[in-house]
Structure 1
Amino acid sequence: MRLLSSSCFTSTFLPLLLLFCHIASVISQKSDSALTVVENPEGDDEEEEVTVDPEKEVEEEELEVIQPTEEWQTLKPGQAVPAGSHVRLNLQTGQREVRLGEEQRKYWTQGHREEEEDQPSFSPEELKQALKKIKADMNTGSKDTEQQDSVASKFRPLEELKRDMAQLEMLVETDVQIMKRLLEQLNSSNSTTEQRLSILLELEYLVHQVDNAQTLCSMGGLHTILQGLNSSDFRLQESSAFVLGSALASNPVVQVKAVENGALQTLLTTLATAEPLHVKKKVLFAMASLLRNFPYAQRHFLSHGGLQVLSELFKADRGGVLRTRIVTMLCDMINEKELISQTGLDSVLDSSHEERVRQYSEVSLQGALLEEGWCGLVPELLESTEHDYREKALQALLAMSTVCLDQYRSDSSLLGALVSLKDQYEEMVQSEMILGEENSYFSEMVELIVALQVRMKG
């Protein structure tokens, strides 16, 4: 019996003794997990559950953090677990296992679990690098703020700029205000010649607009400009004629006002006097602008001896610059009347066109050209070496051929000049063809000469 009792004691108490010894040894070890013994809530004799001591400090760089779940996971040596996790020692396997603590499991819903599974995990080293980057970004942001403050200090506030812009808008002048101010300065006795020249230059720029030119007339500026044509200073005469011509160009309202203010007589007087060439060029420009598409002015031009004045000017000019301008102006006047007459055959035209046809019928320009000897003057321009001068002369001869044809046929110098020019331009056309170049200009010159010769032979 004693033997049996000893044997029972051994079989009963020996396992318990071993268990307590093992637990004591585990507790005494300096484990990285800092485990403590707790009651086994599941009543499993082979397992003891422990929790992590949250006050245990562990160096982050030496540990690998494991992410607990609802299921028990084996905890490898050197691995760390988050605070609040449950860790137990599996007595069957001798390994530590970890799962979520009760507080963690309380908030671990299915949606939260899925969200956490989708999020990437980061190692301690990555977290340290991210923290360094955050600090660097904060320093950079501070520097950027200082730089923005430095840049902002160099510029004016928006509200101040708005106030200044509002004041500037009050100072902006319209074209009408500018012309009014310029005319006042032009009429001022305190203005110097240089100032007047500058004012006339500004006015010439402004009157290119039809409305501005008409406004200038309504302000009385036309009278001031005409006074400049009578100035003793040739520069003021030239600039005044330039402003007048620009205001008259394609502006019927200003053309009428100019004739009413005596502009035609003033221009003819200026052309008839011994003025420099550059002044007469600008005066011819103003005259051409006044007469273009204005039969009333053309009729008064003829009745006031305009062709005689141009004839003297043509004879005195040996360079050909004024001759070309005069011939071009006369040619344009002839072609205008011819075009109006041809258009007048259309029965659908309105009464205003009929009035223009009537006015042009009162302008006997070609008859006056014949009487004033222009049939013999224009061919002299063919003697020029300039192709442009010759072209203008040929166009004018064709336009005047209606009244000058008999005189052309009896002018041997004209006949010889046409033959010589034709041969010259045909050679130029052939030379260009040989070189592989195509220039229709010389071909057009040949066509003009041939057209005039055909009319003379017919």
Structure 2
Amino acid sequence: MVCIQRADSGLCVSVCVCVCVCVLVTMKWISAASLPCFTVASLLLLHCQPVASDADRRSDSALTVVENAEGGGGGGGEGGDEEEGANDNLNVVQPTEQWQTLKPGQAVPAGSHVRLNLQTGQREVRLGEEQLKYMTQDHSRGEESQSVFSPDELKQVMKNIKEDLNPDSKASKYRPLEELKRDMAQLDLLVETDAQIMRRLLDQFNSSTSTTEQRLNILLELEYLVHQVDNAQTLCSMGGLQFILDGLNSSDFRLQESSAFVLGSAMASNPVVQVKAVESGALQRLLTALATAQPIRVKKKVLFAVAALLRHFPYAQHNFLSHGGLQVLSELFRADGGGVLRTRIATMLYDMISEKELISQTGLDPVLDAAHEDRVRQYSKVSVEGELLEKGWCTLVPQLLESTEHDYREKALRALLAMAPTCLDQYRSDSSLLGSLLSLRDQYQEMVQSEMILGEENSYFTEIVELIDAIQVKIK
């Protein structure tokens, strides 16, 4: 059995439920059979009598209720002071949401729920229902207040947005570069521009104390920098182009490879560097590197540099042909068994032929393009067609079709189509070429049909079939 009590103003109101039913026989007499039940009820009523408020007469089993558990006082005047002083001497328990056991002599705040656990014989206390309700409401209001901005906060956010959108305020946030340099100099920090970095790298590269590994790292950093047009031109004005060309003559193959890579990256789509490279004798150095015994990785980078030098530069193409460039490439083409160098050479031939044809057929308005006539005149001096026939390229390029790589075949077909006006008679008499074209067309046509079944259209293999058809039409 559990006795539930509500502590309020020092009075314990108890509701006791007894499992024993007492039957009164008459209004004045009680049956002897009901005496045990009557005795239990009497004991419970005695236990639940109001608790004395006099602290001097408290017993260990009494329950004391205080108005303010914080000791803040309940009334004014002398009576209030005496009551506050009495409360200060009490051991007041702070209830929680869970039941907790009361020790003898402890007091509880008003409004708390107190019960007697008859199984353990201990009093237990927890917060009252009203206290729990108010605590839950305060918690939910606290969560809502955390997720809502105040008006002042919203005003500050809008003010910051307006300041960010104001160009004048943006400009005021940035400081001049010279001022930043001065501040960083005081912090022992060094700010270098790309030009200063390249100057430092060139000095280190030219130093007699630099090792091969250090020079390789320097060339790697330079290759990254010269991709920017301005940096490549600045490198040439510093004399760095000569250092790179000297690296092509190095006895270390790694330095040759890295030097050719930097040179090709600097000349790519950079006419100023292309002109300075030709004036510095870069073409002769590159052809010499291709004609001598070199590892294939060196020749790949040298071919990259040659292609970058010749692209959209008819003057360099003319010098390339006059210095026996196609002869050097033909020997390299025959010696290559893997097809990597052959593919790059075929692509280079295609670029040279298509550039000249494109310039002669553009029909640009001379008024709008004043340099067009001069470009046509320069390309007219590049006699690629005669060199193709003389050096046997009409029979060399078809050999690339024997490769099993689709990319190699595609590059060969494009070069054959560009060379067709010059090599048409050789194509018609080359039975090996005609047989390869028929076989490749059947092979790629099957691939196209397989892709169409899968729902794929305009595939890579369709382009190859179209190239083969175009060559066959010209041959017929």
Q: 1:59 aligns with which of 80, 94, 97?
A: 80
> What SS is found at the alignment partner of 1:189?
coil
Give deviations 1:48-93, integer Å, cap 9, x for gaps.
xxxxxx9933529999xxxxxxxxxxxxxxxxxxxxxxxxxxxxxx
- C-alpha change, 1:169 and 1:401, in structure 2 (3 Å) is farther
In the alignment, the residues of structure 2 paired with residue 387 and residue 347 of structure 1 have an alpha-carbon distance, to the nearest angstrom, of 41
- C-alpha change, 1:188 and 1:329, in structure 2 (3 Å) is same
Q: Which runs of 4+ in 1 moved over 4 A?
A: 60-63, 161-166
Counterpart for residue 380 of structure 1: 399
Q: Is 1:229 aligned to 2:248, yes or no?
A: yes
In the alignment, the residues of structure 2 paired with residue 220 and residue 165 of structure 1 have an alpha-carbon distance, to the nearest angstrom, of 30
In the alignment, the residues of structure 1 paired with residue 418 and residue 76 of structure 2 have an alpha-carbon distance, to the nearest angstrom, of 117
In the alignment, the residues of structure 1 paired with residue 208 and residue 82 of structure 2 have an alpha-carbon distance, to the nearest angstrom, of 95
Counterpart for residue 300 of structure 1: 319
Q: Which one has a larger percent helix, Structure 1 or Structure 2? A: 1
Counterpart for residue 290 of structure 1: 309
Counterpart for residue 358 of structure 2: 339
Q: Is 1:241 aligned to 2:257, yes or no?
A: no
Give deviations 1:384-442, integer Å, cap 9, x for gaps.
00000000000000100111111101111111100000000000111122233446101
Superposed displacement of residue 342, structure 1: 1.2
Counterpart for residue 440 of structure 1: 459
In the alignment, the residues of structure 2 paired with residue 349 and residue 194 of structure 1 have an alpha-carbon distance, to the nearest angstrom, of 51
Instruction: Map 1:16-27 to 2 at 5 A.
Output: none
Q: Is 1:449 aligned to 2:449, yes or no?
A: no
Q: Is 1:265 aligned to 2:309, yes or no?
A: no
Q: Is 1:361 aligned to 2:383, yes or no?
A: no
Alignment check: 8 A CA contact 1:432 1:439 kept: no
Q: Is 1:430 aligned to 2:476, yes or no?
A: no
Letter in 2 for 1:296: Y
Counterpart for residue 36 of structure 1: none
Q: 1:410 aligns with which of 419, 426, 429?
A: 429
Name structure 2 gaps, 5 residues minimum: 1-74, 85-133, 135-179
In the alignment, the residues of structure 1 paired with residue 395 and residue 225 of structure 2 have an alpha-carbon distance, to the nearest angstrom, of 42
Counterpart for residue 219 of structure 1: 238
Counterpart for residue 7 of structure 1: none
Alignment check: 8 A CA contact 1:228 1:237 kept: yes
> What SS is found at the alignment partner of 1:191?
coil
Give deviations 1:192-228, integer Å, cap 9, x for gaps.
0000000000000000000000000001000000000
Letter in 2 for 1:448: L
Letter in 2 for 1:256: V
In the alignment, the residues of structure 1 paired with residue 472 and residue 302 of structure 2 have an alpha-carbon distance, to the nearest angstrom, of 35
- C-alpha change, 1:379 and 1:165, in structure 2 (3 Å) is same
> What SS is found at the alignment partner of 2:78?
coil
In the alignment, the residues of structure 1 paired with residue 316 and residue 183 of structure 2 have an alpha-carbon distance, to the nearest angstrom, of 52
In the alignment, the residues of structure 1 paired with residue 76 and residue 391 of structure 2 have an alpha-carbon distance, to the nearest angstrom, of 126
In the alignment, the residues of structure 1 paired with residue 371 and residue 77 of structure 2 have an alpha-carbon distance, to the nearest angstrom, of 111
In the alignment, the residues of structure 2 paired with residue 426 and residue 214 of structure 1 have an alpha-carbon distance, to the nearest angstrom, of 49
Letter in 2 for 1:197: L
In the alignment, the residues of structure 1 paired with residue 236 and residue 202 of structure 2 have an alpha-carbon distance, to the nearest angstrom, of 11
Alignment check: 8 A CA contact 1:250 1:289 kept: yes
Name structure 1 gaps, 5 residues minimum: 1-53, 64-125, 127-160
Alignment check: 8 A CA contact 1:290 1:297 kept: yes
> What SS is found at the alignment partner of 2:371?
helix
In the alignment, the residues of structure 2 paired with residue 60 and residue 325 of structure 1 have an alpha-carbon distance, to the nearest angstrom, of 105
Give deviations 1:168-187, integer Å, cap 9, x for gaps.
58511111111001001111
Q: Is 1:318 aligned to 2:337, yes or no?
A: yes
Alignment check: 8 A CA contact 1:344 1:357 kept: no
- C-alpha change, 1:230 and 1:332, in structure 2 (3 Å) is same
Letter in 1 for 2:194: D
Letter in 2 for 1:327: A
> What SS is found at the alignment partner of 2:297?
helix
In the alignment, the residues of structure 2 paired with residue 432 and residue 327 of structure 1 have an alpha-carbon distance, to the nearest angstrom, of 29
- C-alpha change, 1:162 and 1:240, in structure 2 (3 Å) is closer
In the alignment, the residues of structure 1 paired with residue 247 and residue 81 of structure 2 have an alpha-carbon distance, to the nearest angstrom, of 98
Letter in 2 for 1:294: F
Alignment check: 8 A CA contact 1:344 1:354 kept: no
Give deviations 1:279-331, integer Å, cap 9, x for gaps.
00000000000000000000000000000000000000010000000000110
Alignment check: 8 A CA contact 2:366 2:372 kept: no
- C-alpha change, 1:222 and 1:56, in structure 2 (3 Å) is same
RMSD (Å), alpha carbons: 2.4
> What SS is found at the alignment partner of 2:286?
helix
- C-alpha change, 1:450 and 1:176, in structure 2 (3 Å) is same
In the alignment, the residues of structure 1 paired with residue 247 and residue 83 of structure 2 have an alpha-carbon distance, to the nearest angstrom, of 101
> What SS is found at the alignment partner of 1:375?
helix
In the alignment, the residues of structure 2 paired with residue 234 and residue 328 of structure 1 have an alpha-carbon distance, to the nearest angstrom, of 25
Q: 2:220 aligns with which of 201, 216, 229?
A: 201
Alignment check: 8 A CA contact 1:299 1:363 kept: yes
> What SS is found at the alignment partner of 1:186?
helix
Alignment check: 8 A CA contact 1:268 1:306 kept: yes
- C-alpha change, 1:168 and 1:446, in structure 2 (3 Å) is farther
Superposed displacement of residue 167, structure 1: 3.2
Superposed displacement of residue 255, structure 1: 0.3
> What SS is found at the alignment partner of 1:236?
helix
Counterpart for residue 295 of structure 2: 276
Letter in 2 for 1:318: G
Q: 1:210 aligns with which of 214, 229, 251?
A: 229
In the alignment, the residues of structure 2 paired with residue 433 and residue 61 of structure 1 have an alpha-carbon distance, to the nearest angstrom, of 101
Length-normalised TM-score, structure 1: 0.64
